[in-house]
Structure 1
Amino acid sequence: MGWKSHGFRFKSGRKLRKRVREKGIRIRKVLQEFEIGQRVNIDIEPAVHKGMPHPRFQGRTGEVIGIRGKCYLVRVRDGGMYKTLIVRPEHLKA
């Protein structure tokens, strides 16, 4: 019996796909800054694997509640409760 791996990016190939001419990353996405209390949209950047939130949060809106190193703590409502995500700025939009 061969067991399949159900890793972090399992079944997210379509969601985390880039077109040929969109490959790579723009430096302004890495350098963008957010303030505590600011509302942000989670837009996963497939070219950067570090600090990537789970694909289920793609397209969600949250609030920046803190900073941890280069990352931001983003509070997102998921179902009936709030979850705190640790996300790098490449995966966020103002």
Structure 2
Amino acid sequence: MPQKSKGFRQGTRKKLAKKEREKGAIPVTRSIREFKKDDRVHIIIDPSIQKGMPHPRFHGKTGRITEKRGRSYVVEVTDNNDKKQLTIRPEHLKPQQG
């Protein structure tokens, strides 16, 4: 019997599935969105873009932009009282309102 896959997207059938109305090409404005240092952002993974995708355990978390690195942003997130730095593309980030 073959071993169960332990890949990066393991166990994310529902979490990384798009809703029917969200399918198709993403708007260009989402990939050229700019953030400043110390902006608060929500990590919402877009499953159609694999480049710059954070680990699914961070989907839905809120973090703070610490720097820009190439096209991506370094986001500081608290995970079990540990500060973690993730390098994420802007397609997977949403600005926090307010």
Structure 2-normalised TM-score? 0.91
- Mapped pair 1:72 → 2:73: yes
Q: Spell out, residue by residue over 1:45-73, the C-alpha distance to the aligned partner (whole angstroms, 9 max, x if none).
A: 11101000011101100000011100000
Cα distance in 2, alignment partners of residues 62 and 31 from structure 1: 19
SS at match of 1:28: helix
Superposition pairs for residues 1-94 of structure 1, below 5 Å? 1-24=1-24, 25-94=26-95
Deviating 4+ runs (over 2 angstroms): none
For 1:29, give the aligned amino acid: R
Cα distance in 2, alignment partners of residues 61 and 23 from structure 1: 24
For 2:7, give the aligned amino acid: G
Q: C-alpha root-mean-square deviation of aligned residues, in Å? A: 0.9
For 1:45, give the aligned amino acid: D
Point out where structure 1 has 5 or more consecutive residues left out of the alignment: none
Cα distance in 2, alignment partners of residues 22 and 53 from structure 1: 20
Percent same amino acid among aligned pairs? 49
Cα drift, residue 20 of structure 1: 3.0
Point out where structure 2 has 5 or more consecutive residues left out of the alignment: none
SS at match of 2:16: coil
Cα distance in 1, alignment partners of residues 2 and 13 from structure 2: 22
